[in-house]
Structure 1
Amino acid sequence: MKLFLTSYGLGGHDQLLVDMVDKPGARMAIITNALDAFPIEAQQAYWKIKPDFLMEMIDLGFDPSLVDLRRFFGRPADLARVMAPMRLVWAVGGNSFLLRRAMRDSGFDALLPDMLADGIVCGGVSAGACVMSEDMRAIALMDAPEERAPGYATDDPIDRGLGLVPFTIIPHYRSDHAEAEGAENGVAFARANGIAHVPLRDGQVIVRRGDAIETLPPRG
């Protein structure tokens, strides 16, 4: 299993991500569903201010495509065909609970174990890292679990993540970020309820390779 999870950006560990994928020109799926609650105009604005990320991925040698899991709700076989050539899957930030529901309703969460066994690298930033946790209850202090968005059949909250790390990832902890206060509240909740957690500052990266999990400080 190979995971590359961040609070914000790549933390200067760009080459590590390239080395983990270990395939020049690798296809990359960028999952956008954490942004689904934003109006389309706001999502378009998001990508207008994020071309540096797409260009960074291209400069690192990846071939990125944006993937909206809503297109595959109830169509897991079609999603499997789209994901088959991908060697890196990256989930962007936004609402963790919307992203988790999209992964469930599309069948992505059922597909992911086989993808990881095949050597794919699964990465994510902010909400994209939170959904890798076992227990997402502390994240409800940062994101609205009942968030609604077009294309979803239900708004039922999910408080269990994918369980790919044995703790809750709480991003933006003590960082210069709008969600830093929510992160403090999330950490306090986790401590009060005995939930294993890792507060992640912006620039830090959690890397999992096999059974080994480490938190790396920012570089540069």
Structure 2
Amino acid sequence: MKFLLTSAGIKNDSIRHALVDLLGKPIAESSALCIPTAGYGHPMGSPGGAWRFITGQSSTPMCELGWKSLGVLELTALPSINEERWVPWVREADVLLVNGGDALYLCHWMRQSGLADLLPELPDTVWVGLSAGSMVMAPCIGEDFVGWKPPEGFDRTLGLVDFAIFPHLDHPSLPDNSLANAEKWAAGVGVPAYAIDDQTAIVVRGGAVEVVSEGHWKQFTP
């Protein structure tokens, strides 16, 4: 699997060009599934937020980019559906567009649904994460970002990349997301980490990591 891990979606031309490069073809020729699940686990999540994400009426561009086709994959529904039905939907998609919200809630339902087990079998599929949709790929999220608490009771996530992510760096509406707080967070996660603002994304392909940015970011080493 290839990853485009963003803080706030496809916010600028640099991130858009990185997406097209990962796809290997134009967006207009690519099929997408969007995953709104993480939003339902966040205290600020709502049905309206999921609708805005899916219909492309949010401030985090993902679904409105002009895809050849776009469908909705709701992970909480998958355990009640035979894998023979939904696994082909995922395999046939070029890209998975994953909404923000609560990373641990998303991680829980990725595991419960079976999607987490399927991802290593999708080498050509692009995972585009937005905030929690990016953080879920890290080994952990850190105590600062624990909201919804999984039955397992810890902050571990999928570990499909070997670094953690602090999103929305210096966002004017999120005063706690300062660089000083990011440094404290990074000291506690115990793995390499990146703090990224909403104009920044991290590309992971074949084990190589590249930061694409028209904003600012900082890398931390444990």
- Same fold by TM-score greater than 0.5: yes
Cα deviation per residue 1:138-170 (whole Å; 9 max; x = unaligned)? 1x31241417xxxxxxx4445222222211111
Gaps of 5+ in 2: 216-222
1:131 maps to: 136
Gaps of 5+ in 1: 148-154
1:21 maps to: 23
Structure 1 segments (4+ residues) deviating >6 Å = none
Give the secondary structure class of the aligned counterpart of 1:164. coil
Q: State how far apart, in whole Å, the 1-side matches of 2:61 and 2:196 are.
A: 25
Give the secondary structure class of the aligned counterpart of 1:64. strand
1:73 maps to: 79
Identity over the aligned pairs, expressed in percent?
Answer: 25
1:105 maps to: 112
TM-score (norm 2): 0.79
Distance 1:179 1:158, change over 3 A: farther
The residue type paired with residue 141 of structure 1 is D
With 185-194 and 18-27 compared, the bigger mean Cα shift is at 185-194
Return the offset for 1:183.
7.9
Q: State how far apart, in whole Å, the 1-side matches of 2:116 and 2:175 are.
A: 26
TM-score (norm 1): 0.80
Cα deviation per residue 1:179-204 (whole Å; 9 max; x = unaligned)? 74488546413314533211111211
Q: State how far apart, in whole Å, the 1-side matches of 2:189 and 2:9 are.
A: 30
Distance 1:101 1:191, change over 3 A: same
Return the offset for 1:29.
1.0
Give the secondary structure class of the aligned counterpart of 1:123. strand
CA RMSD of aligned residues (A): 2.9
Q: State how far apart, in whole Å, the 2-side matches of 1:69 and 1:163 are.
A: 19
Give the secondary structure class of the aligned counterpart of 1:36. helix
Q: Does 1:61 align with 2:67?
A: yes
Q: State how far apart, in whole Å, the 2-side matches of 1:165 and 1:72 are.
A: 24
Q: Is the 8 A contact 2:5 2:134 kept in 1?
A: yes
Give the secondary structure class of the aligned counterpart of 2:203. strand
Distance 1:194 1:143, change over 3 A: closer
Q: Following superposition of structure 1 onto structure 2, how do residues 1-220 of structure 1 map, counting pairs within 5 Å?
A: 1-12=1-12, 13-23=15-25, 24-37=28-41, 42-48=46-52, 51-52=56-57, 57-73=63-79, 75-115=82-122, 117=123, 119-136=124-141, 138=142, 140-146=143-149, 155-178=151-174, 180-181=176-177, 185=181, 187-192=183-188, 194-218=190-214
With 46-55 and 23-32 compared, the bigger mean Cα shift is at 46-55
Q: Is the 8 A contact 2:138 2:160 kept in 1?
A: yes
Q: State how far apart, in whole Å, the 2-side matches of 1:66 and 1:182 are.
A: 34
1:151 maps to: none
Distance 1:194 1:38, change over 3 A: closer
Give the secondary structure class of the aligned counterpart of 2:94. strand
